[in-house]
Amino acid sequence: MKSTKKLWLIFGPVIIAAVLVWGILLLPLNHRRVTNTDLKRSAVSLSTNVYHGTMLKQAAFSKNYVPFMGSSELLRMDPLHPSVLAAKYHRSYQPFLLGSAGSQSLNHFFALQGVHRQLQGKKIVFIISPQWFTKHGQTPDAFGYFYSPLQAIDWLLTAKDSASTRYAANRLLSMPSGQSSSVMTNALQKVADGQEISHSEQLFLEYRRRMLRNEDALFSKIKLDRHWERVKKGERQLPTKDSNQILTTTAIQLAQKHTSNNDLGIDNHFYAQRLRGSRINALRGSQKHFDYRYSPEYSDLELLLSEFKQMHTNVLFVIPPINQKWSRYTGLSLPMLKQTASKLKYQLNSQGFNHILDMTSDSRDDYMMEDTIHLGWLGWLKMDEAVKPFLTQPQAQPHYHLKSYFYTKNWQQALPQKEGSH
Amino acid sequence: MTDAEKIYEILKDLTDEDLSEKGDTNLFETGLLDSMATVQLLLEIQTELNVDVPVSEFERSEWETPNKIIAKVQTLK
Amino acid sequence: MINLQPYSNPTYFAIILSGLLPVIIGLYYGKRLKIYESLISLVFLIFTFGGNHWHQGIALIGYTIFQVLLTIGYAHYRQQKKNQTSVFVTMIVLSIIPLAIVKLTPLFPANHGFNLGFLGISYLTFKTVQVLMELRDGTIKEISASQYLHFLLFFPTISSGPIDRYRRFLKDYENPPARDVYLQNINKAVFYLFQGFLYKYIIGYYLGTRLLPVVTHLALGQRLAFGGTGFSWYLLAYMYVYSLYLFFDFAGYSLFAISISYFMGIQTPQNFNKPFASHNIKEFWNRWHMTLSFWFRDFIFMRFTFWIMKHRWLKNRVRISQLAYLVNFLIMGFWHGVTWYYIVYGLFHAGAIIINDYWLRFKKKHQDKIPHNRFTEYFAIFLTFNVVCFSFLIFSGFLDKLWF
């Protein structure tokens, strides 16, 4: 065989493969059809593909889907879960769940990139877990798990210099995710310093965005049906009438049935899986020193608030309670939790975010929680009492006035005084 | 005793096998010689045959059969 | 300024192969374009160690100058037929000192800001020590600064190996292959490249980025299992996922380095040979991270045993080998880093290989009584795989997270 022919045999397939892959990734694919079934499923899938992407979210928020942002509690899909209630009673809104265990304010900030247009002037429900507000705040590992380069690029290409923008760039730079590509890192550094990104960086980022959008269009529909069946099953267990009174009875019956193997009001399955036997003993008194009052997370939250303001969205904030039987066992301080809630409310109210449902006083009541710190049955129902009117009735246009003080270490380490002494 | 005989003698000591009829057996692939036994082989060659073999000189592919060892020792003499 | 981390994304390969195109064409016509090759190597080194990694670049330059002076100096000394052991030992110690400082720095957290380290320093140290030892043995007689630099800074393998040998490298470098041999080389290079894509970007990605965080989370959720030790089924899952991830990620990386070397007409040695099909730990070390374990075999284990036997400090050969394994794997543990889990990992493998040796001797003695069939072979592979995976669980440092 001649050498040139051999060369073709070696490199021919490689060249063809490279051209094909490149071609597929650079074709304008992002207007792929999204069906209503896709939306129904992706709204409850809690899949990272959906969280990382923009295509499905754009389609959903153009319709009557409302972002329900939060973390691990979103997975507690008992029949009183907001998604089940909205589906069963054909409410005028349908929740689109964003977030699972480990996703906090900073991830949510990026998760809203690429959907500004669709969310402009709309409503959002946001469940803030006090558990996010630890001494070190967002862990880099969890951030990396929910981080999406597509959203980061969407943000970089539209960001205008401001205190929030610089803060976001610095936060991303402090995470390994922000160091994973050198062009990104350099661009972030410029934005953090208040400079413009260069023309060549912009071109490169646009080229990357085209590829990432195509990946999103090609792959984000994978494994969408994970939780859809649970929603359908939940619907079958609900009464036909959307009445708070009947639903309360249903919730109590279900909760009694599912918390029978322990005295702590914890779901049987959760208890058997995580706490059975000697495991629970080690947790006695283990959370005495937990403190959610001082945390960098307060500034990450501020970043998210600036995003809400930019989109003129009206947001209902929910601060969930903690299972009091459980917190007694672990020694978690309830006064500390109340102070955490007060600090959060101060940050929200003082800037014009006035729709807040603080459930921390409901910690004592039975069946509020599905397990230790996650809303369930009556808790979901109580939340629904606020969510339903908020989303189905017209709300006054909010007026937000943000203060950069909330980005400072001082605020992270402060407790609000009665008169707001800063 | 010739050098070859001496080498087979050493190998018999190390492997418990008489290899004088099987001069092309691969000593490493068959597991007859491990690193430890190899070091012993080099030392024995040094004392019995007065050939100094530094460990660096030991390139496995050049020492993998009894015949190759005999040839190698001849070149080093 | 652009910074490119080796083999980190597909763009890197596009850039590297276009940069190497003249080299490839040159080799196709039987010529090594030495000047161009040196220049392009320099450019890639700047991409790797420049930009926001510039402090690593400075460290690399300082390190390289130091090692070149050391080696050339020692070669000069040896050419005068002088060969004092004290001089040799001093040279080795000096050569290892930068690595030792880098490895010990994390133990003194107060010292942050001060860092001599750069990506690949441990792999370069293997090369420098190897050359010094061969100069001592007289198997390397002369050394030119330019050839030595090419060997040391050969960019496809600079960050994580495979660890080549000086004489072997030079033979390839100075003798461009004939056309049909080179065509076979690049045929293999393309194959290794795609095998690497499969290993690192598909299998390794799935295991490391998709599966590992999930099992990590689940296993950490079981901290209190089994009487508070954290031993749970999820930990077992973590152990297997991590072990497979480690293999596919690292083997993929090695394949990339080998592939690029082959494009450049350098037949860098293989690093992995189906390690999980080993029948015992000894065989495992002949198949896993081979260039590292062969380096340790040739430059630690064999020299150590040679030295002990020559001086007759220990008579019992079994004891000598056991001691040598201990020293060998302990050094390997420390090389990975000065943490309890790397050191325990080293001791664990020393223990495993010592037990393995007992068994092999026992088996040899009772050959007629011990059955050997397909089932016993599968059992041996299964057992070895699990022992190895357990050692990787130690190595992963996950137990440190779980317990402390």
Confidence of residue B15 (pLDDT cuts 50, 70, 90): confident
**Same domain, yes or no, for C198 and C319?**
no
What local confidence, expressed as pLDDT, does residue A197 receive?
93
User: Which ipTM did the prediction report?
Assistant: 0.85
**Quick check: C306 and B39 CB within 8 A?**
yes
Judge whether residue C51 has pLDDT over 80. no
Q: Which of A185, A274, A283 sits opposite C52 (nearest CB)?
A: A185
Question: How much is the pLDDT for A420?
Answer: 43
- Residue B39 with chain C: CB contacts under 8 Å: 302, 305-306, 309
At C71 the three-state DSSP class reads helix
Closest by CA position to A279, among listed A268, A287, A271: A271
State whether C219 and C309 are in the same domain. Answer: no
| A99-113 mean pLDDT | 94
The two structure tokens encoding residue C216? 């990590």
Q: How many CB atoms lie within 10 A of CB A183?
A: 17
Q: Residue B17 — very low, low, confident or very high, per pLDDT cuts 50/70/90?
A: confident
Res A418: pLDDT: 54
Domain boundary at C121, C153, C176, which? C176
Highest mean pLDDT among A19-23, C67-71, C207-211, C361-365: C67-71
Radius of gyration of chain A (CA): 23
Residues C242, C289: one domain? no
Looking at residues C320-335, what average pLDDT do you find?
Answer: 94
CATH superfamily, with its number, for domain B3-76: ACP-like (1.10.1200.10)
User: Do C17 and C142 fall into the same domain?
Assistant: yes
| Nearest residue, CB atoms, A282 vs list C52, C186, C224 | C224
pLDDT tens-digit profile of A138-157? 999 889 989 999 999 999 99
Average of pLDDT values for A200-214? 91
Report the pLDDT value the prediction gives residue A263, as an integer from 0 to 100.
87
- Chain pair B-C, CB pairs under 8 angstroms: 41
What is the rounded distance in angstroms from the CA atom of residue C189 to the CA atom of residue C193? 6
| pLDDT exceeds cutoff 60 at A180 | yes
As beta bridge partners, residue A125 has A68, A316
Q: What is the mean pLDDT of chain C?
A: 91
Q: Is the pLDDT of residue C173 over 70?
A: yes
- The residue segments making up the domain with residue C113 are 10-176
DSSP helix/strand/coil, B15: helix
Pick from A116-125, A155-164, C115-124, C202-211: least confident: C115-124
Band (pLDDT 50/70/90 cuts) for residue C217 is: confident
More confident call, C54 vs C248: C248
Query: What is the tally of structural domains in chain C?
Result: 3
Q: How confident is the model at residue A58 (pLDDT cuts 50, 70, 90)?
A: very high
Flag whether pLDDT at A162 surpasses 60. Answer: yes
Interface contact A182-C52, CB threshold 8 A: yes
- A158-167, C101-110, C309-318, C381-390: segment of lowest average pLDDT: C101-110
Per-residue confidence band for C110, with pLDDT thresholds at 50, 70 and 90: low
Q: How far is CA B26 from CA A204, A279, B8, B66, C302, in A?
A: 56, 57, 14, 8, 20
Has residue C268 been placed in a domain?
Answer: no
Extract the tokens encoding B10. 């050493």
The whole-angstrom separation of Cα B59 and Cα B50 is 19
Any domain includes C1: no
C78 shares its domain with C226? no
Residues of C annotated as catalytic (active site), given as ranges: 336
Q: Does B76 touch chain C (CB under 8 A)?
A: no
Shortest distance, CA C340 to any CA of chain B (angstroms): 28
**Using the beta-carbon criterion (under 8 Å), do C179 and A3 form an inter-chain contact?**
yes
> Mean per-residue pLDDT for C173-201?
95
Residue among C207, C89, C71 nearest C152 (CA): C71
In this structure, the answer to whether residues C306 and C190 fall within a common structural domain is no
C191 vs C116: CA distance, rounded Å: 37
Chain A meets chain B (3+ C-beta pairs below 8 A): no
Q: Is B67 in CB contact (< 8 Å) with chain C?
A: no
Same domain? For C47 and C168 the reply is: yes
State how far the alpha carbon of A262 is from the alpha carbons of A73, A78, A366, A378, in Å. 20, 19, 13, 18
Q: For position C195, what pLDDT does the model report?
A: 96
Same domain for C113 and C195, yes or no, is: no
pLDDT digits (tens, 9 = 90+) for A298-330: 999 999 999 999 999 999 999 999 999 999 999
User: Can you tell me the distance from the alpha carbon of C307 to that of C85, in angstroms, rounded to the nearest whole number?
Assistant: 13
Tokens at C101, concatenated = 């400082």
The answer to the question of residue C131 being in a domain is: yes
Chain A partners of C2 at a C-beta cutoff of 8 Å? Answer: 182-183
pLDDT for position B48: 86
Q: Which residues contact A221 (CB under 8 A, 6 or more apart)?
A: A38, A42, A49, A56
- Pairwise CA distance, residues A150 & A112, whole Å: 11
Mean per-residue pLDDT, C184-191: 95
Contacts C15 to A, Cβ<8 Å: none
Residue C2 has pLDDT above 70, yes or no: no
Distance from C329 to chain A by nearest Cα, in Å?
31
The whole-angstrom separation of Cα C255 and Cα C199 is 9
Mean pLDDT of C349-353: 97
pLDDT recorded at residue A421: 40
Q: Which sign does the torsion angle of CA C30, C36, C42, C45 carry? A: negative
Percent of chain A with pLDDT over 70: 98
CA distance C154 to chain A (A): 23
CB of A321 within 8 A of CB of A379? yes
Q: Please tell me the pTM assigned to this model.
A: 0.80
Band (pLDDT 50/70/90 cuts) for residue C112 is low
For residue C119 the two structure tokens come to: 């990506």
- A30, A63 contact by CB (below 8 A): no
- C157 and C228 together in one domain: no
Q: What is the number of CB-based contacts under 8 A between chain A and chain C?
A: 45
Band of residue A31 on the pLDDT scale cut at 50, 70, 90: low
Identify from C187, C191, C194, C224 which residue to disrupt to test chain A contact, counting A C-beta atoms within 10 A and taking the largest count: C224
Would the CA dihedral through C188, C194, C200, C203 be positive or negative?
A: negative
Residue window 6-65, chain B: list those with CB within 8 Å of chain C.
16, 34-36, 38-40, 42-43, 54-58
- Residue ranges covered by each domain of chain B: 3-76
Angle, CA of A215, A218 and A220, to the nearest 5°? 85
Chains that touch B (3 or more CB pairs under 8 A): C
| Residue C50 pLDDT exceeds 50 | yes
Q: Which of residues 208-237 of C touch B (CB under 8 A)?
A: none
Q: How far is C183 from chain A (nearest CA, A)?
A: 7
C181 lies in a domain?
no
pLDDT above 90: residue A183: no
Q: C118 pLDDT exceeds 80?
A: yes
Same domain? For C135 and C203 the reply is no
Q: Domains plus CATH for chain A? A: 34-47+65-105+112-137+224-422 (3.40.50)
Q: Are residues C328 and C371 in the same domain?
A: yes
- Out of C183, C217, C227, closest to residue A6 by CB: C183
B42 interaction partners in chain C (CB closer than 8 Å)? 306
The region of weakest confidence among A247-251, C64-68, C118-122, C246-250 is: C118-122
pLDDT confidence bin for A72, thresholds 50/70/90: very high
Note whether C360 and C286 are same-domain residues.
yes
